[in-house]
């Protein structure tokens, strides 16, 4: 196969930052995706509808005039998020869910939830208003091994939460382990998961090849090869609970390449191309459209897109860095080859 035409995909988990950095980033996603679920972990976090509305307007202003792109907004859950906040989100028409960050779990999560019991009233409201809960699923107890944080979170928080709120739709974001795949496979209706290109293509060895590789550092961190294979099996299966979410997370080069580097992999410049590579390696290119353009829309209760994109099997190489306002942004596969290329849309 030398070309692949699929329905225009959506990104169900995306970071675009803000300000001048946002202007540099949004066009990459708008060129490839029709919609994206925008993460709310700015500083300050997007905790109320008026903040989400203003952020959405800034994103739309950064979309090139020749492209159509819809940002799907989320609120940042805190210990004090109220039912009124969530009712306003439901009524807005552009906020589709709220994100659970355990406090201290990842970038800009310091305002996150300190104990899951603190947000039970908010989760009850989300269940009533049919807002989707997006979950960063890692335990933050310092005694938990970093490679076990996802597994422990499932046991301590996510499994009991899904049982306590049986009508709450939950997306277990950027899963990384066999245990997470098994949990979603066995979970009740209304529980799904997103998978990133880096977790489908890399295992934890990639963090150390030729020395420390800070641009491969993300949270949740890359896991074992057996975990990667379990993720590939899930993504390429016929199980509609697994769908695309890049977790593309831009950071300036100097914030990644230092003694306390930021967590995040920037993949928006080649996201759908990277997924195509992973599906091709698995011998399942014919299933990419379902994963990238059908399952997420169905889960969120949104119409599938009707336009198409075309990918060509042609090797290209991202530059060593992209401009990121006054900074540099090192992309995934910088200076290395990618086997698929976006060539047209209609």
Q: Which residues are annotated as a binding site for Zn(2+)?
A: 13, 15, 99, 136, 174, 247
Report the alpha-carbon distance of residue 227 to residue 63 in Å, rounded: 36
Report the alpha-carbon distance of residue 247 to residue 233 in Å, rounded: 19
Query: What is the DSSP-derived secondary structure letter of residue 113?
Result: B
Nearest to 215 by CA among 271, 262, 268, 146: 262
Report the alpha-carbon distance of residue 310 to residue 230 in Å, rounded: 28
Q: In what order do the strands lie in the sheet with 191-195?
A: 11-14, 35-38, 70-76, 95-100, 132-135, 170-172, 191-195, 242-244
**Alpha helices in 97-224, H assignment, sequence order:** 120-129, 149-153, 159-164, 178-186, 197-201
Q: Is 11 a catalytic residue?
A: no
Binding site per annotation, positions = 13, 15-17, 41, 99, 136, 174, 219, 247, 251, 263
Catalytic residue among 10, 227, 239, 247: 247
Provide the annotated active-site residues. 247
């Amino acid at each position: 196969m030398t070309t692949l035409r699929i329905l225009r995909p959506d990104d169900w988990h995306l970071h675009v930052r803000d300000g001048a950095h946002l202007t540099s980033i949004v066009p990459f996603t708008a060129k490839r995706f029709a919609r994206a679920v925008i993460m709310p972990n700015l500083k300050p976090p997007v905790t109320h509808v008026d903040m989400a509305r203003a952020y959405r307007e800034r994103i739309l202003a950064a979309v090139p005039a020749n492209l159509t792109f819809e940002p799907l907004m989320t609120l940042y859950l805190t210990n004090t998020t109220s039912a009124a906040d969530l009712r306003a989100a439901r009524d807005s028409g552009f906020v589709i869910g709220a994100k659970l960050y355990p406090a201290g779990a990842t970038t800009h999560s310091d305002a996150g939830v300190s104990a899951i019991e603190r947000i039970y009233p908010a989760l009850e409201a989300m269940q009533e208003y049919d807002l989707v809960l997006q979950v960063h699923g890692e335990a933050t107890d310092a005694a938990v091994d970093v490679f076990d944080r996802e597994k422990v979170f499932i046991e301590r928080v996510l499994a009991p939460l899904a049982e306590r709120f049986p009508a709450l739709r939950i997306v277990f974001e950027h899963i990384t382990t066999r245990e997470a795949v098994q949990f979603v496979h066995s979970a009740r209706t209304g529980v799904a998961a997103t998978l990133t290109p880096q977790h489908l293509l890399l295992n934890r060895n990639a963090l150390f090849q030729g020395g420390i590789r800070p641009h491969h550092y993300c949270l949740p961190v890359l896991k074992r090869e057996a975990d990667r294979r379990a993720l590939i099996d899930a993504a390429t299966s016929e199980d509609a609970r697994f769908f695309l979410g890049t977790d593309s997370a831009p950071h300036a080069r100097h914030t990644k390449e230092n003694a306390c580097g930021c967590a995040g992999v920037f993949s928006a410049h080649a996201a759908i191309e990277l997924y195509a590579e992973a599906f091709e390696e698995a011998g399942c290119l014919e299933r990419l459209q379902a994963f990238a353009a059908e399952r997420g829309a169905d889960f969120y209760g949104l119409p599938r897109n009707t336009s198409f994109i075309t990918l060509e099997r042609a090797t290209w190489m991202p530059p060593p860095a992209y401009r990121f306002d006054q900074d540099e942004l090192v992309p995934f596969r910088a200076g290395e080859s990618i086997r698929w290329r976006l060539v047209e849309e209609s």
